[in-house]
Amino acid sequence: MAKWSGIVAVVSLTVFLMSVTAAAVLPIHPYLKVEDTFISQLYDTSNYGFLQIDNGLARTPQMGWSTWNFFACNINETVIKETADALISTGLASLGYTYVNIDDCWSRSTRNLKGEMIPDPKTFPSGIKALADYVHSKGLKLGVYSDAGIFTCQVRPGSLFQEKNDAELWASWGVDYLKYDNCYNLGLPPQKRYPPMRDALNDTGRTIFYALCEWGIDDPAKWAGKIGNSWRTTDDINDTWISMTTIADINNKWASYAGPGGWNDPDMLEVGNGGMNYHEYKGHFSIWALMKATHNYIFLNSSLVFLFDCLMEYFVSSPFSKQFLRSDNKFVMQPFFCEIACWFKWRMSAPLIIGCDVRNITADTLKILSNKEVIAVDQDPLGVQGRRVYASGPDGCQQVWAGPLSRNRLSMVLWNRCSKAATITANWSAIGLKPSISVSMRDLWKHEVVSENTVGSFSARVNAHGCEMYILTPRRATRSST
Ligand SMILES: *[C@@H]1O[C@H](CO)[C@@H](O)[C@H](O)[C@H]1NC(C)=O
Ligand SMILES: *[C@@H]1O[C@H](CO)[C@@H](O)[C@H](O)[C@H]1NC(C)=O
Ligand SMILES: *[C@@H]1O[C@H](CO)[C@@H](O)[C@H](O)[C@H]1NC(C)=O
Ligand SMILES: *[C@@H]1O[C@H](CO)[C@@H](O)[C@H](O)[C@H]1NC(C)=O
Ligand SMILES: *[C@@H]1O[C@H](CO)[C@@H](O)[C@H](O)[C@H]1NC(C)=O
Ligand SMILES: *[C@@H]1O[C@H](CO)[C@@H](O)[C@H](O)[C@H]1NC(C)=O
């Protein structure tokens, strides 16, 4: 043990120094380097594109709030300001929900004589710049919305063919985020309509998160990584169980394409809007987090954090690797670095896009949205999307979803989509663990370790339409464990 620690210290120092000198070189994701067939089969990352759009954003999925799911077009500057205040007073902002996004309907229905978009004078009389200043004064960021067509879905001006001027205007207002929709697109292919806005945003010199909303029509996971920081994989969500589960399943298909810099977006959260019960919303939030859904994530800007990020992307061989997931002796990330990076990161960030009225939030809704441990799964720096790995029962409604996390851990959700309570079992082979591995199971909703030494499989009783969520941490190395 002492010898191992010594070696680790030396290697750590070396890697640290390498990192300092090479901090500008972006690390390759570990899973892309390792030819480990077991992992690549189960948690396929073959399409994982690391930081393809290099605007410095979306190392983890974005987090924040958006007007659309609750307010639709009934918005004004007062609601935005009050929501910014509420994000602070509820503590949600400090958990990482930092983007305050105005969806459709902020703009007047016609441009001015100079061809510029203007904020609707009735609802945004002070203008977007004033709103951005207000939001920034709270330490939050402001998002706007436009469309890769000639109109938005609510028939306000779209930005197709006007990308450069519009992007410059938004940047001059201090906008930090753009959701870019797909209505009135003249039938032109998205691969032609979305890149010009990427370039226009980049040309402004202002760092602006670029969220593509192409509804998943042309399989954007396959091409959007080079264009935006996130891409919608499905049609709009609505506040029903059927919509939420359908969208989870569609988004799941594209898991191998998500990664730091670019994320699959299964649309904004409906948690708190009243169309589903507590258990259903808990599942909605847990699965979105496991899938690294874009809940409007927070973003870290400090170069120190960047350095830690780099450190943890390096990895050295450790005996731990023999215990977990690997059938060979290939490299795994060195836990010590990750410990620092995660500590640092969790302190400063937290994660997802809320869609309810935060000014009037209930205790149950706040409890779901502010679950730090679930948020930490969403924001895990490894950035590999979790996915459904097993289903049994009628219509496969007893489901196991899982995904790798940093520090050789796994996240797991037992999701009961049946209409009756059920016991769901996760067999180690189904989630990618060797049968002999002993893990400690932390329950992310009970906030406690429910088992120190689980081997082979794990079962739990799960409510109808409910879920349980865990982090599995392999125990240190007693090879003789049974
Ligand atoms: C613009 O793109 C370049 C090249 O990808 C990148 O290095 C730069 O950070 C981008 N700038 C902004 C403001 O997004
Ligand atoms: C602003 O919008 C909110 C939410 O739709 C509404 O309750 C409020 O009356 C509006 N305020 C004004 C001044 O229009
Ligand atoms: C909600 O979504 C479901 C599933 O996609 C769809 O069948 C239904 O029509 C939608 N409901 C509304 C009100 O849009
Ligand atoms: C990081 O964010 C803070 C607060 O928004 C800002 O004051 C600071 O200038 C930023 N630092 C960098 C390096 O961008
Ligand atoms: C606040 O929420 C409650 C239900 O949670 C609802 O009855 C009430 O109308 C809401 N108030 C406002 C001002 O929206
Ligand atoms: C787990 O799966 C393996 C392989 O499919 C099987 O042999 C074993 O019996 C299963 N164990 C449990 C506890 O279900």
What is 50-102 written as a DSSP string? Answer: TT-S-SS--SS--EEEESHHHHTT---HHHHHHHHHHHHHTSTGGGT--EEE-
Q: Which of 220, 226, 208, 195 is nearest to 52 (CA)?
A: 226
Can you say how many angstroms the Cα of residue 436 is from the centroid of all Cα atoms in its chain?
Answer: 32
Region of residue 160 (left: phi > 0; alpha: psi -120 to 50; beta: else):
beta
Say which range, 49-53, 169-173, 218-222, 415-419, has the weakest mean pLDDT.
49-53
Mean pLDDT of the chain: 83
- For the CA of 78, the nearest atom of ligand 2: 1
- For the CA of 362, the nearest atom of ligand 5: 5
Q: How far is the CA of 64 from the centre of ligand 6 (A)?
A: 41
Answer for the pair 160, 150: CB distance below 8 angstroms, yes or no. Answer: yes
Query: Tens of pLDDT along 20-66?
Result: 333 322 233 444 333 343 455 678 777 877 788 989 999 999 999 99
What is the CB < 6 Å shell around ligand 1? 54-56, 202, 205, 207
Of the listed 147, 181, 267, 309, which one is catalytic?
A: 181
Say which range, 159-163, 304-308, 346-350, 424-428, has the weakest mean pLDDT.
346-350
CA distance 393 to 181: 38
362 lines ligand 2 (CB under 6 A): no
Can you say how many angstroms the Cα of residue 402 is from the centroid of all Cα atoms in its chain?
Answer: 15
User: Taking the CB of residue 92, how many other CB atoms lie within 10 A of it?
Assistant: 23
User: Which run of H or E residues covers position 450?
Assistant: strand 448-455
Residue 253 has pLDDT above 50, yes or no: yes
CA distance 471 to 404: 10
Chain position carrying tokens 């029903």: 240
Query: Tens of pLDDT along 404-458?
Result: 888 888 999 999 999 999 999 999 989 988 888 899 999 999 999 999 999 999 9
Q: What pLDDT is recorded for position 301? A: 30
Q: How far is the CA of 430 from the centre of ligand 6 (A)?
A: 9
Parts of the chain belonging to CATH 3.20.20.70: 63-294+348-378
Q: Mean of the pLDDT values across residues 149-170?
A: 98
84-89 long-range contacts, Cβ below 8 Å, gap at least 24? Answer: 84/134, 84/135, 84/138, 84/140, 85/138, 85/359, 86/358, 86/359, 86/361, 87/138, 87/140, 87/358, 88/138, 88/139, 88/140
Parts of the chain belonging to CATH 2.60.40.1180: 387-474
Count helices and strands in the chain by DSSP H and E runs: 17, 18
More confident position, 91 or 343: 91
More confident position, 324 or 10: 10
Q: Which CATH architecture has domain 63-294+348-378?
A: Alpha-Beta Barrel (3.20)
Residue 86 has pLDDT above 60, yes or no: yes
Q: With respect to CATH, is domain 387-474 assigned 2.60.40.1180?
A: yes
Confidence of residue 247 (pLDDT cuts 50, 70, 90): very high
